[in-house]
Amino acid sequence: MKEELLTLASKLVEKALGEGFSEAAVKITSSRRTMVKIANSEPSVVQYWNTLNVGLYLVKDKKMLIVELEPSNIEELDKSIRELIGIADKIMESPFYAPLPKPDKKPEPIPGLVDDNIIKVLDNPVELAEAVIETAHRERIDFTAGAIDLAYTEKALATSKNVELYEDSTRIQAYLRAFAGEDGSGQWALGSRKLDRKKLEEMASIAARYAVDSRGRVDIEPGVYDIILSPMVFGNLLDLVGRMSSAFSMFMGMSMFVKNKPGDKVASEKLTLIDDARNPELPGSTSFDDEGIPTYSKPIIENGVLRTILHNSKTAAKVGAKTTGNAGWITPMPWNLIVKPGTHSLEELIGEVKKGILVTNNWYTRLQNYVEGLFSTITRDALFLIENGKITKPINKLRIADSLSRLLNNIEALGRETYDIQWWEVRIPTRLPYVLIRQIHTSKHTI
């Protein structure tokens, strides 16, 4: 549908200019998506979506309008633009206004964003569901649950600054949770542009193994521990950190970096966190942002130092910076996060811990205060006590309750093997290893 989508996007830009808007950007997304949801080791529902979404960014006299439509027919769009001009007259100039950028160069397409194998199974993912259920049951688990989510998406962008761009891509997001015995459970996830059956099976195996290994849990007292976070948990917390690196989050008082500027030390020198926009394997990759600016890879944090605040042209103009190719018309966001791996195997990380905890999964992370970075999150699934460099027993749930700043600064070592994670609690696709963090507070119910 490349030509149709591009023609429609350009036509709508022209229409907007013709009706009296001074600037316009139109982003059209067409997608086909299938998801098998699994519960009790069988499909609970198979879902399919076929949608066309039209996003309009319209400016008149520095007044900004954002419109999201799912038009039931295309003629409606013409009419709606005509009516929108009346609304633009009524609102105020936005303090966030900056002109849409005219990109210096065309983005270089990223090869390999479409995997035909995903398109092939979109219509019938039953085999994949069967495979992950079967793989998990190779371990002595009782039942499994999860989801396999496949999509083919086409995106067309046109702006009044002569931008006309198109990109299509596929992606798979999958996760599986396995349950064994009275109290054993484990969960793992995968996010990729490509279908790799081995990786899907690996995901199912890790979840199942953690379920079996975490049976027979005991209580331990909460306190200050060295903790090893799996990529699932570290990914959840870095999802927050990534969002906080957006300039918009800083303007809104929703960021721990409000008090920082690039060059400040914000983490242990062991941590390098990159917005890897053009990684062809991770599902957030794109060659251009919503303003048509070519994307590129950039460190957010490099060796513990804050390097980049993510900008679109508006937030950049507000602070005299340059766009980083992360638009969002209003909110800049990371595309993919990558953590530079370390040198340790998981066993070696465990070997570094005298008394501590291995946390394999978590959920429900909430903050008392975004600026101070005060948070807690509750662990779920396999959780293990580490004593004198060895896992000694599975333990019952605890909370990690501390500050994001201490968490980042107390990073001691990183694993060398990375995992591609995306699921409910890790929305931004993230490639990262296990991590060892010293002296983190944990808590638990008192009664």
Alpha helices in 252-391 (DSSP H): 313-319, 346-351
305 sits near another protein (criterion: CB under 8 A): no
Q: What is the DSSP letter of 94?
A: P
Least distance between another protein and beta carbon 257 (Å): 13
Subset of residues 184 to 203 that bind another protein, contact rule: CB under 8 A: 187
Long-range contacts of 118-124 (CB under 8 A, 24+ apart): 118/150, 118/151, 118/152, 118/170, 118/171, 118/172, 118/194, 118/195, 119/152, 119/170, 121/150, 121/195, 122/32, 122/33, 122/34, 122/150, 122/151, 122/152, 123/34
Report the residue from 159, 403, 422, 430 that binds another protein according to the rule CB under 8 A.
403
By beta-carbon proximity to another protein, the closer residue of 69 and 387 is 69
Of residues 13 through 32, those in contact with another protein by CB under 8 A are: none
Q: Kindly tell me which of 199 and 427 has the beta carbon lying closer to another protein.
A: 427
Q: Interacting stretch for another protein, rule CB under 8 A, among 73-81, 271-279, 320-328, 342-350?
A: 73-81
Of 314, 335, 333, 292, nearest in space to 25 by CA: 292
- Reading the block at residue 204, the tokens are 């199912």
- If binding is defined by CB under 8 A, does position 40 make contact with another protein? yes
Residues 77-136 that bind another protein (CB under 8 A): 79-80, 83-84, 86-87, 90-92, 94-96, 123-124, 126, 129-130, 133
**Min separation Cβ 123 and another protein, Å:** 8
Pattern 404-443, another protein, x by CB under 8 A = --------------------x----------------x-x
- Alpha carbons 139 and 213: distance in angstroms, whole number: 10
The residue with tokens 């139109």 is 26
Question: What is the Cα–Cα distance from 22 to 24, expressed in whole angstroms?
Answer: 7
Binding segment toward another protein, per CB under 8 A, in 49-57, 152-160, 212-220, 413-421 = 49-57
Of 22 and 94, CB closest to another protein: 94
The CB-of-64 to another protein minimum distance in angstroms stands at: 4
Tell me how far apart the alpha carbons of residues 122 and 119 are, in angstroms, rounded to a whole number: 5
Half-sphere exposure of residue 241: CA atoms within 13 angstroms, side-chain side: 31
Residue 223 touching another protein (CB under 8 A): no
**To the nearest whole angstrom, how small is the minimum distance from the Cβ of residue 247 to another protein?**
13
Burial-class residue 339 by CB neighbours within 10 Å (0-12, 13-18, 19+).
buried
205's tokens: 């195996």
List the interface residues with another protein, window 282-301 (CB under 8 A): none
Are 149 and 33 in contact by the 8 Å Cβ rule? The answer is yes
User: Within 13 Å, how many C-alpha atoms sit on residue 385's CB side?
Assistant: 18
Binding residues for another protein restricted to 138-157, rule: CB under 8 A:
143, 145-147, 149
In three-state secondary structure terms, 402 is: strand
- The answer to whether the beta carbons of residues 224 and 357 sit under 8 Å apart is no
Interaction with another protein in 358-397: which residues (CB under 8 A)? 363-372, 374-378, 380, 397
Query: In angstroms, what is the minimal distance from the CB of 37 to another protein?
Result: 6
Q: Which is nearer to another protein, 388 or 446 (CB)?
A: 446
Binder among 1, 7, 18, 45 for another protein (CB under 8 A): 45
Is 338 or 407 the residue whose CB approaches another protein more closely?
A: 407
Residue 7 binds another protein (CB under 8 A): no
Q: Which of 22, 29, 52, 348 binds another protein (CB under 8 A)?
A: 52
Window 164 to 183, contacts with another protein (CB under 8 A)? 175-177, 179
Contact criterion met (CB below 8 Å) for 309 and 252: no
Q: Which DSSP string corresponds to 210-266?
A: HHHHT-S-B-----EEEEEE-HHHHHHHHHHHHHHTBHHHHHTT--TTTT--TT-B-
Residue nearer to another protein on the CB measure, 236 or 272: 236
Stretch in the footprint of another protein (CB under 8 A) among 18-26, 46-54, 263-271, 280-288:
46-54
Residue 71 engages another protein in binding (rule: CB under 8 A): yes
Partners of 174 in beta bridges: 148, 190
Tokens 């931004």 locate to 428
Of the candidates 285, 289, 288, 264, which has an alpha carbon nearest to the alpha carbon of residue 274? 285
Q: How many residues bind another protein (CB under 8 A)?
A: 92
CB of 363 to another protein, least distance (A): 6
Distance of closest approach, residue 40 Cβ to another protein, in angstroms: 5
Closer of 77 and 339 to another protein (Cβ): 77
Of residues 236 through 275, those in contact with another protein by CB under 8 A are: 251-254
Cα 330 to Cα 252: distance, rounded to the nearest angstrom: 12
3: enclosing H helix or E strand: helix 2-18
Q: Does 35 bind another protein (CB under 8 A)?
A: yes
Question: Per rule CB under 8 A, is residue 69 in the interface with another protein?
Answer: yes
**Contact status: 220 vs another protein (CB under 8 A):** no
Tokens of residue 68, six digits:
């999201």
